[in-house]
A and B are shown apart, each in its own frame.
Chain A
Amino acid sequence: MNELRDLYQEVILDHARNPRNFGECALSTNRAVGNNTLCGDRVEISLQVNGGVIVNAAFFGAGCAISTASASMMTEAIKGKTVTDALTLFERFHTLLTESADADDYGKLAVFAGVREFPIRVKCATLAWHTMKAALENSDDEVTTE
């Protein structure tokens, strides 16, 4: 039960119920669609990038609590970051989910450390991030977590 409480922390449930930056970026420059074929989750990421800086980010889609909260918190985390810093943050986020990283270094995103105990849910937590990366690379292909 404790592992479940660690996974479904209040912050995650709050973002899942009331996702931030939900919809489309008005002046988007980069977009991508991501699918988790395992569970049918689908997320669309739209970004407004000016001079190498992500000035706005939004997501749209339907998914589980983990994928929705992750997408919501990702859009908050990458706004104002340079493209390079956003991609580095994705790598660090992945480490948080899969290896023993010091959660204190992750700010709000530290709530996702609980996912580590649920390896099958790592794909849920990273779907939005993979899609964000594809949007930045302006890849036309739909992304999957496979």
Chain B
Amino acid sequence: MSTKTEPLIDISKVRADFPILSERPYGKRLIYLDSAATAQKPHAVIDAVGRYYSEANANVNRASHFLAAKATDAYETARSTVSCFINAPSVEEIVFTRGTTESINLVAQTFGRANLREGDEIVLSQMEHHANLVPWQLVAQERGAILKFVPIDERGDLCLDRLREMVGERTKIVSITHVSNVLGTINPVAEIVRLAHEAGAAVMLDGAQAVPHMSVDVSDLDCDFYAFSGHKLYGPTGIGVLYGKANLLDKMPPYQAGGDMITSVSFDSSSFKTGAHKFEAGTPNIAGAIGLAAAIDYLNSIGMDTVKAWDAQLLEHATELLSGLPGLRIFGTSKEKAGVISFALDCAHPHDIATILDREGIAIRAGHHCAQPLMGILKEPATARASFGIYNDFEDTEALAVGLRKVAEIFG
């Protein structure tokens, strides 16, 4: 039985919104299956960035001239768009950063340094991206804190029972990915937040792979911090978001210091702005924030429920096709999964698979996906990974299966 059902989305209209899809690698149709690394950008985003530079470019929160007001308004409107998108209680809880990595580093270096004492514990999981591991290693080393890792089971689900045992009175921070960039697992983050809060720990969620695939409501989740990147959400690179609860942000020391984050400065000391602006030193990525807001407006015009449903359709279809290929193993078979498929072929190394698919116009990722410890758990030096975006269709998933048969032909 084929799971190729009628698309829930006007796919030809969506595809027309993404100019890059008319590129022809090696003279072939571009089959872009690497959206988990970075998503392609619709006209709406590219145009919004261009329009800002052509019509509104000025520094924000500084000058009083016409363009400065226009730029500041656009930048702060972007903050408000982000705030609504994840249902944050206040725009003052939305900090613009360079991306998920910087958002997590910010929390580790401010909240982490201020609150961790020797012997305190930070609970992470075995499926974390290096971006949600290495920042905690650094602060743990400095403060004498201990890192603990929630294990995963054979399907790639977090062992919640183990998390329950692990989180205790020494736990200060629980930082877990919302969706695994390798396994695709959608973690039960609301339950994790509840368990951590019962123990008095703060919770940070790495939402880099979640926000592109589903609607996220930080008020509902009740997490303390939530991080994501613009470029995986069809927005520009170099812009990201940190959501933080206002009462926590207010108590945290600044991350970087400089212009824009101060209220007054003397030669000896300074006082700082409150809320999100305290964490935005220097001229921010104004165009990036505006481009990110354009991406969010674009996704809202499709509807995040539709985005999620289409993602599930593609995942189901691709999983069925790939499961039928001899010698192919899929890593991550959770019932709750986003559009990411990591796999290996018995006959060929992931890097060789990627090279052969590339010549068919198919872009996938091969390697450790910035999750080397997880590769150790999976006992694989590397995996191949196909990941979906809203512009992918059944022709793409079918091309992947055909391409993989070609790999087997060469290596068979």
A contacts, CB < 8 Å to B: 1, 3-5, 7-8, 13, 38-42, 62-66, 68, 118, 120-121, 124
Contacts and interface: CB of A to CB of B under 8 A. Distances in A.
Given A39-B366, A65-B411, 13 more contacts: A1-B359, A5-B410, A7-B355, A8-B411, A13-B411, A39-B368, A39-B382, A40-B381, A63-B351, A64-B351, A64-B352, A66-B352, A118-B355
Given A8-B411, A63-B381, A40 B352 contact: no
A68 B366 CA distance: 16
14 contacts: A1-B359, A4-B359, A4-B410, A8-B356, A39-B366, A39-B382, A40-B367, A41-B351, A62-B381, A63-B381, A64-B349, A64-B352, A65-B352, A65-B411
B69 interface: no
B350 interface: yes
Contacts of A3: 359
Contacts of B351: 39, 41, 63-64, 66, 121, 124
Nearest 9 A-B pairs (CB), nearest first? Answer: A64-B351, A64-B349, A40-B368, A62-B381, A39-B367, A40-B382, A39-B351, A65-B352, A64-B352
B381 A42 contact: yes
B160 interface: no
A55 to B, nearest CB: 30
A118 B352 CA distance: 11
Nearest to A117: B359
B334 interface: no
A1 B358 CA distance: 11
Contacts of A124: 351
Interface string B335-379: 000000000000011111001100100000011100010010000
Nearest to B383: A40
Contacts of B381: 40-42, 62-63
A62 B352 CA distance: 13
Contacts, number: 50
Contacts of A121: 351, 355
Interface string B379-393: 001100000000000
A39 B353 CA distance: 12
Given A4-B359, A65-B411, A38 B367 contact: yes
Given A64-B349, A65-B349, A40 B355 contact: no
Contact of B356 (A4, A13, A40, A62): A4
- Residue of B351, B366, B367, B410 with most partner-chain A CB within 10 A: B351
A49 B351 CA distance: 33
B375 to A, nearest CB: 7
Contacts of A118: 355
Nearest to A8: B410
Contact of B349 (A5, A63, A120): A63
A66 B353 CA distance: 12
Contacts of A8: 352, 356, 410-411
Nearest to A124: B351
A2 to B, nearest CB: 10
A121 B359 CA distance: 13
Contact of A40 (B348, B359, B375, B410): B375
Contacts of A64: 349-352
A13 to B, nearest CB: 7
B367 to A, nearest CB: 5
Nearest to B410: A8
A124 B351 CA distance: 9
Contacts of B410: 4-5, 8
A61 to B, nearest CB: 9
Contacts of B350: 39, 64
